[in-house]
């Protein structure tokens, strides 16, 4: 039946009608008639909803949902997914409501459609935030039903196929997003066919000139190599037949983006990438895969270090194959992949295999479970940050894993390349990451920032009172670790800002003869409300972060007549600094203040209190804002170390740097950083950043250095 002809009012005949018929012909090959009829009903509904709408190319809009559905039909997706594909834009682009879809086609379809829809009805500060929040919503919907991303990937694939009608600036933006987000997601879900098409289309739109150069070179190489490839394939087939193995040999087509990526990654010219021949050998069982590996290694000599067993240890997206690289005729490299029929099917379809052959398909179920586990992992990351931060974390988590390490019990953990012991700790459990203090790799203690290598056994040592170190953010590479550390630091900064805000407000109130403890909670809440803040805690936080000035807030607590009451308990005085205030009190790196230095404090928006030495040359930059200055003093015996910078002029002789470092170490002082200013070759200056307790400790270090004959002068850095 020519179904398109029955609704000519909605879709013209011709090429577009052929597309509709192709969709239903495909569906009839694997769906029961009743389900195909449901898809027809959805098509009628969608065509009516989009009636009169056109795409930028000028064709009726309904042609796009039909094309999306056809991409999913090629993957043999189930009827609810096909229906959702046909209706995926009706909520966003027509007056149709989600409830109407749910009533007509079921809640299952409505949830998929809603998950794919964008958030155009919400207002955001920027386009980046809108896109990130839309993506976040899509991931949340994917957790409930992973078919959401299947529809979204097919939608993006067809949009990329028709990107020529889009203005150039938007074309590049969409292409970049495709390469950074959607192609990696397709790869993570193991859908090789969509992943490669998205990569090539994105590459073509983002770098058209580079695409044309590589495409031309690849076409030329195929012509020159056709006979060569046929000869190698024949040799492989004959070797299999001689061993009595049934299998097929295919030439493996290279796609342009993978060639471009390899050129960039390995910094090699185009010719050395194009001249690599790829073959795929597909057999019946896993045991046969390993037998074939021995046969091809006997036929051609293998390259050392170029064998990978993805059958024993699958990639994170579930991909399985044996990979080996051989020296072919005339020394030309030959890349060979060996896999079973089932591995080949799932490698092409990935998670879609779960819906293709549900009955008795353990591997398809494994793909589905693995993808669901990954999505759940993304949702477990703390979401206290912005949508852009969440998007960044997802990008970090999308790229293929390269390191396989073991727990002490022998369990395999897959981590990205350059993952550290801290990444491993958070991969095991967030609580273990938050409380880790040390790590053992192959039973030897290593620094927490140590990158892990394949095959290592990692043990994490925890302590009950331990907390994440802010410096960890600088070297962790997994999204889960980064998000967990950021979440902790934000919570810590909040509590510290609240406490500092109370102290600053109390100090400002004391100047007015008031005391915070004497002011009723209701009055504090009223002032917060007057300032459009939700709670007194938020008021204290804003003061602690420098976003509200304590003296101005304090004046709101004065009586209506403006008189200044006298409270004998209110004792104005400088803010006492203990050195343990954490993230909301920072010490300026221009002058490196340490205990017992005369100091002043400046209230910086978002950073809280910044401490400077009174003699710091940078203070003149802040003199124009006296209302942001705070009088501060040191509490006795602060319980921490402070960084300080000293400059040491020395005579230029061999071993002087080692001698100076040894002298500093003898004073029980830690060296954080050292650099050399060698502008005057005869008397170079050594610049040390040290950790000291106070001025007395620093004086001991300087006194010890001045005794050295090689040292000409020691000074403390000051801006």
Predicted pLDDT at 8: 40
Mean pLDDT for 477-482 is 84
What element of type H or E holds 105?
Answer: helix 98-105
Q: Select from 706, 713, 668, 667 the least CA-distant residue to 687.
A: 713
Write the CB contacts of 295 (distance below 8 Å, at least 6 apart in sequence): 239, 240, 243, 245
Strands 248-251 and 308-309, bridge-based pairing? unpaired
pTM greater than 0.75 (yes/no): no
In angstroms and rounded to an integer, the radius of gyration of the C-alpha atoms of the chain is: 33
Residue 401 pLDDT > 60, yes or no?
no
CA angle 222, 226, 230 (to 5 degrees): 140
Query: Closest Cα partner for 362 from 370, 350, 354, 374?
Result: 354
Which has more pLDDT, 356 or 3?
356
Beta-carbon contacts of 452 under 8 Å, excluding residues fewer than 6 positions away, are 403, 405, 415, 419, 420, 421, 423, 424, 441, 458
680 is catalytic: no
| Spatial separation of the C-alpha atoms in residues 316 and 350, rounded to whole Å | 12
pLDDT, tens digit, 9 for 90 and up, residues 616-658: 887 777 666 776 777 788 888 777 788 999 999 999 888 899 9
Tell me the pLDDT band of 66, cut-offs 50, 70 and 90: very high
pLDDT of residue 154: 92
Distances (CA, A) of 75 to 332, 363, 553: 36, 16, 63
What does the DSSP 8-state code read for residue 518?
Answer: G
Answer yes or no: are the C-beta atoms of 119 and 130 closer than 8 Å: yes
37 flagged as catalytic: no
Q: Which of 93, 100, 215, 388 is catalytic?
A: 93
DSSP states along 448-460: TTPBP-TT-BEEE
Angle at 351 between CA 349 and CA 354, to 5 degrees: 100
Nearest by Cα to 62 from 158, 194, 160: 158
Distance CA 97, CA 299 (A): 63
Q: Which tokens sit at 126? A: 């920027």
Predicted confidence band of residue 487 (pLDDT cuts 50, 70, 90): confident
Q: Residue 647 phi/psi, 5° resolution?
A: -120, 130
Strand, coil or helix: what is 443? Answer: coil
Q: What digits encode the pLDDT tens for the residues 355-382? A: 554 434 555 455 556 556 666 655 555 4
- Domains, the chain: 3-209 (1.10.3210.10), 217-356 (3.30.460.10), 401-477 (3.10.20.30), 487-634 (no CATH), 642-716 (3.30.70.260)
- Residue listed under structure tokens 């009595």: 244
Range with lowest mean pLDDT among 93-97, 207-211, 227-231, 577-581: 577-581
CB burial class (10 A; 0-12, 13-18, 19+) of residue 413? middle
**Least confident span in 394-398, 440-444, 680-684:** 394-398
Asked if 110 contacts 98 with a C-beta cutoff of 8 angstroms, the reply is yes
Output the CA torsion 599→603→605→608 (10° steps): 70
SS3 of 1, please?
A: coil
Residue 540 has pLDDT above 90, yes or no: no
- What is the pairing mode between strands 412-415 and 436-441? unpaired
Which of 202, 384, 415 lies closest to 316 in space, CA to CA?
Answer: 415
What is the Cα–Cα distance from 348 to 352, expressed in whole angstroms? Answer: 9
Q: How far apart are CA 76 and CA 150, in angstroms?
A: 11
Q: Look up residue 514 and give its two tokens.
A: 């008031």
The model's confidence at residue 563, banded by pLDDT at 50, 70 and 90, is: low
**Per-residue pLDDT reduced to its tens digit, 346-356:** 777 766 655 55
Helix (H) or strand (E) holding 679: none
User: 3-state SS of 245-288?
Assistant: CCCEEEECCCCHHHHHHHHHHHCCCHHHHHCCEEEEEEECCHHH
Q: Of these residues, 44, 59, 74, 92, which one is catalytic?
A: 92
Q: Is residue 169 packed enough to be buried (19+ CB in 10 Å), middle (13-18) or exposed (0-12)? A: exposed
């Amino acid at each position: 039946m020519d179904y398109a002809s029955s609704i000519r009012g909605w879709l013209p005949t011709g090429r577009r009608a052929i597309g509709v018929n192709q969709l239903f012909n495909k569906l009839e090959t694997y769906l029961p008639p009743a389900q195909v009829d449901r898809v027809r009903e959805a098509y009628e509904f969608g065509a009516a909803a989009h009636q009169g709408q056109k795409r930028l190319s000028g064709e009726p809009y309904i042609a796009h949902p039909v094309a999306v559905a056809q991409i999913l039909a090629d993957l043999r997706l189930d009827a609810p997914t096909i229906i959702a594909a046909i209706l995926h834009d009706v909520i966003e682009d027509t007056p149709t409501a989600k409830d109407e879809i749910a009533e007509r086609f079921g809640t299952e379809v409505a949830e998929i459609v809603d998950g794919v829809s964008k958030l155009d009805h919400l207002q955001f500060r920027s386009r980046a935030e809108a896109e990130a929040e839309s993506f976040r919503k899509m991931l949340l919907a994917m957790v409930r039903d992973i078919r959401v991303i299947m529809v979204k990937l097919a939608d993006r694939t067809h949009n990329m196929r028709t990107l020529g009608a889009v203005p150039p600036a938007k074309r590049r933006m969409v292409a970049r997003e495709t390469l950074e987000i959607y192609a990696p997601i397709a790869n993570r879900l193991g859908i090789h066919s969509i992943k490669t098409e998205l990569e090539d289309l994105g590459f073509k739109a983002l770098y058209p000139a580079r695409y044309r150069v590589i495409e031309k070179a690849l076409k030329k190489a195929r012509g020159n190599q056709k006979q060569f490839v046929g000869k190698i394939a024949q040799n492989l087939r004959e070797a299999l037949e001689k061993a009595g193995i049934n299998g097929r040999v295919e030439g493996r087509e290279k796609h342009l983006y993978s060639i471009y990526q390899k050129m960039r990654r390995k910094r090699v010219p185009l010719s050395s990438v194009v001249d690599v021949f790829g073959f795929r050998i597909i057999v019946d069982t896993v045991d046969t895969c390993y037998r074939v590996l021995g046969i091809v290694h006997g036929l051609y000599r293998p390259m050392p270090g170029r064998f990978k067993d993805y059958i024993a240890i699958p990639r994170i997206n579930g991909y399985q194959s044996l990979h080996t690289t051989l020296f072919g005729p005339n020394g030309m490299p030959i890349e060979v992949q060996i896999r079973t029929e089932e591995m080949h099917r799932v490698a092409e379809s990935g998670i879609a295999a779960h819906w293709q052959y549900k009955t008795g398909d353990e591997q398809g179920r494994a793909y589905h479970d693995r993808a669901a586990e990954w999505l759940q992992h993304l949702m477990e990351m703390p979401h206290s940050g912005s949508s852009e931060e969440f998007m960044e974390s997802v990008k970090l988590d999308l790229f293929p894993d390269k390191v396989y390490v073991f727990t002490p019990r022998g369990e395999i953990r897959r981590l990205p390349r350059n993952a550290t012991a801290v990444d491993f700790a958070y991969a095991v459990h967030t609580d273990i990451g938050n409380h880790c203090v040390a790590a053992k790799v192959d039973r030897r203690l290593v620094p927490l920032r140590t990158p892990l290598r394949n095959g290592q056994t990692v043990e994490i040592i925890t302590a009950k009172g331990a907390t994440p170190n802010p410096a960890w953010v600088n070297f962790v590479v997994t999204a889960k670790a980064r998000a967990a550390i950021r979440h902790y630091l934000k919570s810590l900064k909040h509590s510290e800002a609240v406490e500092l805000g109370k102290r600053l407000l109390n100090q400002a109130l004391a100047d007015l003869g008031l005391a915070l403890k004497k002011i009723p909670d209701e009055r504090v809440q009223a002032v917060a409300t007057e300032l459009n803040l939700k709670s007194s805690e938020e008021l204290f936080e804003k003061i602690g972060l420098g976003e509200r000035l304590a003296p101005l807030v304090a004046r709101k607590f004065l009586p209506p007549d403006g008189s200044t009451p006298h409270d004998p308990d209110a004792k104005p005085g400088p803010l006492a600094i203990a050195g343990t205030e954490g993230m909301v009190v920072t010490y300026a790196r221009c002058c490196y203040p340490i205990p017992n230095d005369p100091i002043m404090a400046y209230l910086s928006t978002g950073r809280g209190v910044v401490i400077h030495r009174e003699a710091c040359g940078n203070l003149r930059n802040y003199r124009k804002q006296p209302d942001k200055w705070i009088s501060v003093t040191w509490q006795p015996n602060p319980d921490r170390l402070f960084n300080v910078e000293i400059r040491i002029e020395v005579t230029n002789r061999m071993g002087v740097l080692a001698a100076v470092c040894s002298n500093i170490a003898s004073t029980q002082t830690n060296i954080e950083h050292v650099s050399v200013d060698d502008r005057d070759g005869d008397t170079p200056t050594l610049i040390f950043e040290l950790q000291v307790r106070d001025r007395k400790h620093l004086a001991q270090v300087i006194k010890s250095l001045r005794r050295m004959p090689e040292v000409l002068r020691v000074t403390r850095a000051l801006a």
